[in-house]
């Protein structure tokens, strides 16, 4: 089974493609493309179209994905509404695209994936190893959310 894990944030998104077989869990893109930044100068409308195109490209390139797992942002301050709104739209876009492609979608917060912000990096590294660059909690969030799909 192949799962796409996504962690959207105000500057872009991190994603992982996890596969599980008899040998365990493997992140197929751990040391290749897994960090996508929003192009500079995009307004809200351009951002939504850009994000849709990027998600469709990833799903079309990896046509064996059967589930999508979104790790939601948590504990956003109320004065960060503009950033939160952008991320919420991104979460909705991937949900709609996956649903139209008959790909099952789940979304999670930390307590649902049995990690927290303090241990998510360590848990993801134990599961799939550490990427050679851009290793941070955002990619770890995507990995742990995707891994949750193997438990369902």
- Domain spans of the chain, in order of start: 2-119+137-151
122 vs 117: CA distance, rounded Å: 10
Reported in sequence order, the residue ranges of 22-150 that DSSP labels E, i.e. its strands, are: 24-27, 35-37, 65-71, 104-108
Residue 45's pLDDT is: 86
* 2-119+137-151 placed in CATH 3.20.20.70: no
Q: What is the DSSP letter of 5?
A: E
pLDDT in tens, 41-70: 998 889 999 999 999 999 999 999 999 999
pLDDT in tens, 127-141: 999 999 999 999 999
Residue 86's pLDDT is: 85
Residue whose pair of structure tokens reads 């955002």 in the numeric block:
138
CB 62 within 8 A of CB 24: no
Which residue in 86, 95, 9 sits closest to 44, CA to CA?
Answer: 86
Residue 76's pLDDT is: 61
CA dihedral (145, 132, 93, 67) positive or negative: negative
Residue 78's pLDDT is: 60
Q: How many CB atoms sit inside 10 A of residue 35's CB?
A: 15
Collect the ranges in the chain with pLDDT lower than 50. Answer: none
Residue 82's pLDDT is: 63
Q: What pTM, to 2 d.p., does this model score?
A: 0.94
């Amino acid at each position: 089974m192949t799962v796409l894990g996504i962690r959207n944030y105000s500057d872009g998104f991190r994603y992982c493609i996890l596969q599980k077989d008899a040998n365990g869990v493997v992140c197929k893109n751990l040391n290749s493309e897994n960090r996508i930044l929003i192009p500079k100068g995009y307004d809200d409308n351009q951002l939504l179209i850009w994000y849709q195109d990027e998600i469709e490209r990833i799903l079309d390139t990896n046509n064996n994905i059967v589930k999508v797992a979104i790790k939601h942002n948590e504990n956003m301050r109320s004065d960060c509404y503009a950033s939160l709104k952008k991320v919420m739209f991104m979460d909705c876009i991937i949900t709609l695209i996956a649903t139209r492609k008959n790909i099952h979608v789940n979304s999670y917060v930390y307590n649902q994936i049995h990690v927290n912000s303090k241990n998510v990096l360590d848990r993801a590294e134990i599961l799939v190893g550490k990427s050679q660059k851009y290793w941070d909690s955002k990619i770890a969030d995507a990995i742990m959310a995707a891994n949750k799909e193997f438990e369902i």
